[in-house]
């Protein structure tokens, strides 16, 4: 088994090196069979629907909310394009953050799922990154798992009174980890009915993700999200207050 | 971040040619149904046909070969990766055996064949998506999605996000270059800190721009309603012929058992 994983890792690494930019978190077009395409769309649709409801409800109270979500969505999309050199490949390839941890912290988990869905649609259409038939699956891993895990990690860290940097770090890292776990689960499920073990396949795929570039990337994304929040708090604390990340503007937050 | 400026562009979709002139609703319907065929088909030649026709059509409307290849590069490498993995792991019958860096790599026939099937589906599907994106602008796409009753909030956000991504990309590119020239990326630690500052600036600018945009929208009468009001004309004879055509193709494929629907 270790030999298979070694070969898998070798090919995976060569793949990353060959493509120069590593995009491992999205399942590409044509990979998922029709039954899983429909399943993941059915799982993701209610979350996107609730996201739409949240935006509509807030828009009624505050008409400037829609442009705000659009701008922050665009900003998070651009943030997710930041090239981060992969240490494991000695900088031969770059990877990029998910961005869902940051968007979940800034906008809440449901709106973050909606933003992720739109970002994934744009990436599938204009960057050939992900796919239209795999959109549901990618929304599940990056949007739903990424957003909710990042949001709850941030909230738990805040409850534990951790400094803002560490709250951001945990949100970024946990959301990234769960995104890869989601992708691994989706790919692992494909072996069911083909004589393979789902748990074993999921663990192997997740292990390969972590062993190559993505394990380090989770930590890197956590650090960057932590720095982002600290920077925003230092420069414009009102933004975090308005978004509900900090409660009392008069009491300084531990950074 | 330069790679985004090359691939992430509407330059080909804004051109005037017969493919960009096809109604967006027909294009969307075709792409969705052809993607379904691509997934459901048991025949490897159908995805290969989609790939070659998409390439042919794009070349016909003078989209440069390098631009198509650049867009295909990532899925292509992914497809090759899948082919290799399945070839290495599935099946019994040995097709090729070789040594690489001390490892004995054995490619098996069954795995390679299964890999080839998945590989063709990846490339066939991606080529269809690229065909749509190279011939459709975002405003056409939004109008088409509205016609298909996609919620206004999603369409409005899609339009807003797409519009501002380019602006933020330009701003980030400038800041990134400025950081680099001031030695902000000389070590790994500095890169992380600089990326954090860049991300923070992005959030601050997004917030400021959201307020400016809302004020501009409010001045033009926006009070929280729809942003996009464009309407598509009613269908002509040409569009009906296109739709009947795809229904005929699907029925034919199901009848000849090239598509496994149930």
Task: Render each residue's pLDDT in chain A as its tens digit; 255 residues.
Answer: 444 444 444 444 444 444 444 445 688 888 899 999 999 999 999 999 999 999 999 988 888 899 999 999 999 888 887 776 655 544 455 567 888 999 999 999 999 999 999 999 998 888 888 889 999 999 999 999 999 999 999 999 999 999 999 999 999 999 999 999 999 999 888 888 777 788 888 888 888 888 776 788 889 889 999 999 999 999 999 888 888 888 765 666 777
Co-location of B28 and B107 in the same domain? yes
Backbone angles phi, psi at B259, to 5 degrees: -120, 130
Co-location of B112 and B40 in the same domain? yes
- Reported as type and span, the H/E element at residue A85 is strand A84-85
Co-location of B121 and B57 in the same domain? yes
pLDDT at B220: 85
Co-location of B77 and B174 in the same domain? no
Residue B145 covered by a domain: no
Distance CA B59, CA B11 (A): 15
Residue B260 covered by a domain: no
Co-location of B7 and B112 in the same domain? yes
Q: Report residue A6 as tokens.
A: 């070694």
User: What does the pLDDT average to over B102-127?
Assistant: 86
Co-location of B158 and B70 in the same domain? no
- Nearest alpha-carbon partner for B123 in B165, B169, B69, B84: B69
Distance CA A34, CA A185 (A): 17
Distance CA B248, CA A195 (A): 37
- Condensed to tens digits (0 to 9), the pLDDT of residues B43-96 reads 888 899 999 999 999 999 999 999 888 888 888 888 887 888 778 777 778 888
Residue A28 covered by a domain: no
Which residues in chain B are contacts of A126 at CB distance < 8 A?
Answer: 7-8, 133
Q: How many CB atoms lie within 10 A of CB B72?
A: 19
Co-location of B170 and B251 in the same domain? no
pLDDT at A21: 45
ipTM: 0.88
Sign of the torsion angle spanned by Cα atoms B242, B243, B246, B248: negative
- Nearest alpha-carbon partner for A148 in A44, A23, A227: A44
Is the Cβ pair A239, B130 closer than 8 Å? no
Range of the domain at A178: 34-242
Residue A6 covered by a domain: no
- Reported as type and span, the H/E element at residue A31 is none
Range of the domain at B250: 2-136+233-255
pLDDT at A87: 56
Residue B227 covered by a domain: no
| Closest CA–CA distance from residue A250 to any residue of chain B (Å) | 20
Q: Enumerate the H helices of A20-64 as residue ranges.
A: 34-61
Distance CA A234, CA A232 (A): 5
Which of B123, B153, B197 faces A56 most closely, judged by CB atoms? B153
The answer to whether residue B118 scores a pLDDT higher than 80 is yes
Is the Cβ pair A224, B192 closer than 8 Å? yes
Co-location of B173 and B89 in the same domain? no
Co-location of B93 and B173 in the same domain? no
Residue in chain B closest to A230 (alpha carbons) equals B200
Residue B142 covered by a domain: no
Distance CA B183, CA B189 (A): 12
Is the Cβ pair B77, A118 closer than 8 Å? no
DSSP reduced 3-state for A73: helix
Interchain CB contacts (distance < 8 Å): A and B: 241
The answer to whether residue B42 scores a pLDDT higher than 70 is yes
User: What does the pLDDT average to over B213-221?
Assistant: 88
The total number of structural domains in chain A stands at 1
Is the Cβ pair B195, A224 closer than 8 Å? yes
The total number of structural domains in chain B stands at 2
Q: What is the CATH number of the domain that holds A163?
A: 1.10.1760.20
């Amino acid at each position: 088994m270790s030999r298979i994983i070694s070969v898998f890792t070798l090919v995976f690494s060569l793949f990353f090196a060959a493509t120069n930019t590593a995009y491992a978190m999205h399942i590409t077009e044509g990979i998922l069979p029709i039954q899983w395409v429909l399943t993941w769309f059915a799982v993701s649709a209610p979350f996107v629907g609730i996201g739409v409801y949240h935006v509509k409800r807030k828009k009624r109270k505050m008409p400037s909310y829609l442009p705000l979500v659009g701008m922050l969505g665009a900003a998070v999309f651009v943030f997710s394009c930041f090239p981060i050199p992969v240490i494991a490949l000695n900088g031969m390839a770059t990877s990029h953050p998910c961005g869902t941890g940051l968007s979940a912290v800034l906008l809440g988990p449901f709106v973050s799922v909606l933003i992720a869905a739109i970002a994934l649609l744009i990436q599938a259409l204009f960057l050939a990154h992900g796919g239209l038939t795999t959109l549901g699956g990618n929304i599940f891993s990056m949007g739903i798992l990424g957003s909710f895990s990042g949001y709850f990690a941030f909230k738990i860290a805040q409850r534990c009174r951790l400094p803002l940097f560490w709250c951001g770090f945990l949100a970024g890292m946990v959301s990234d980890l769960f995104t890869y776990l989601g992708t691994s689960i989706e790919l692992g499920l494909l072996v069911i009915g083909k004589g393979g073990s789902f748990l074993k396949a999921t663990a192997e795929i997740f292990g390969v993700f972590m062993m190559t570039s993505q394990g380090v990337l989770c930590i890197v994304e956590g650090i960057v999200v932590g720095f982002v929040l600290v920077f925003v708090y230092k420069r414009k604390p009102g933004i975090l207050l308005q978004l509900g990340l900090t409660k009392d503007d008069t009491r300084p937050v531990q950074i | 971040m330069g790679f985004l400026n090359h691939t992430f562009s509407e330059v080909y979709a804004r051109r005037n040619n017969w493919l960009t002139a096809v109604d967006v609703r027909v294009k969307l319907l075709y792409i969705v149904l052809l993607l379904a065929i691509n997934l459901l088909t048991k025949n490897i030649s159908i995805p290969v046909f989609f790939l070659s026709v998409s390439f042919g059509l794009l070349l016909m409307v003078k989209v440069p070969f390098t631009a198509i290849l650049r867009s295909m590069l990532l899925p292509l490498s992914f497809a090759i990766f899948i082919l290799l993995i399945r070839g290495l792991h599935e099946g019994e019958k040995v097709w090729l055996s070789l040594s690489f860096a001390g490892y004995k790599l054995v490619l098996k026939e069954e795995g390679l064949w299964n890999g080839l099937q998945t590989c063709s589906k990846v490339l066939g599907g991606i080529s269809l998506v690229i065909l749509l994106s190279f011939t459709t602008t975002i405003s056409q796409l939004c109008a088409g999605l509205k016609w298909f009753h996609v919620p206004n909030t999603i369409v409005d956000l899609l339009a807003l996000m797409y519009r501002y991504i380019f602006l933020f990309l330009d701003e980030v590119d400038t800041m990134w270059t400025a950081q680099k020239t001031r030695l902000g990326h000389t070590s790994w630690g500095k890169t992380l800190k600089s990326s954090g500052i860049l991300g923070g600036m992005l959030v601050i600018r997004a917030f400021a721009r959201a307020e400016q945009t809302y004020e501009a929208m409010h001045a033009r009468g926006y009070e929280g309603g729809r942003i996009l009001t464009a309407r598509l004309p009613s269908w002509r004879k040409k569009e009906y012929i296109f739709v009947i055509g795809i229904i005929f193709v699907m029925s034919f494929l199901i009848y000849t058992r090239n598509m496994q629907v149930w």
